Amino acid sequence: MKSRLRGHHLICLNFFRGEGYSEDFIKNIYAVLKKEKVEIVSGPDEVCAKCPYLNDKKCASNEYSDEMILVQDKEALRLLGFMAGKIVDWKMIAVILPDILEEWKVQFCAGCGYRKVCFNE
């Protein structure tokens, strides 16, 4: 089985610590992470499907604009060297992640509400 995930979730889910919007949302992420293979998609994915801020296939969060999420997706794919439609596994991502993490953190983590959860900062 494989998950269907957008670009920035390929990076951010590596730091998931069981926190989220609801119990249903958290259970969904654990189910996603159990699948070895990931099909990269454009736009909302399996994680977004359980997010309370998904509205008409767009992020309606007060913290993040849909445009910002799309920029994160594009940059995540560039840094990882992947593209939509590609099938990868978590091990491939784990090998690349150390080389791109600092650049990712500088660009996207500074204002993120989950920074403390992900990096204990």
**What span, in angstroms and rounded, lies between the C-alpha atoms of 118 and 121?**
8
pTM for this prediction: 0.93
| Domain hosting residue 107, numbered range | 2-119
Residue 101 is inside which H or E element, if any?
A: helix 90-104
Task: Kindly report, residue by residue over 45-93, the tens digit of the pLDDT.
Answer: 999 999 888 999 998 887 778 899 999 999 999 999 999 999 999 999 9
- Among 19-23, 53-57, 98-102, the range scoring the smallest mean pLDDT is 19-23
**Positions of E strands within 1-79:** 2-5, 37-40, 54-55, 58-59
Q: How many domains does the chain have?
A: 1
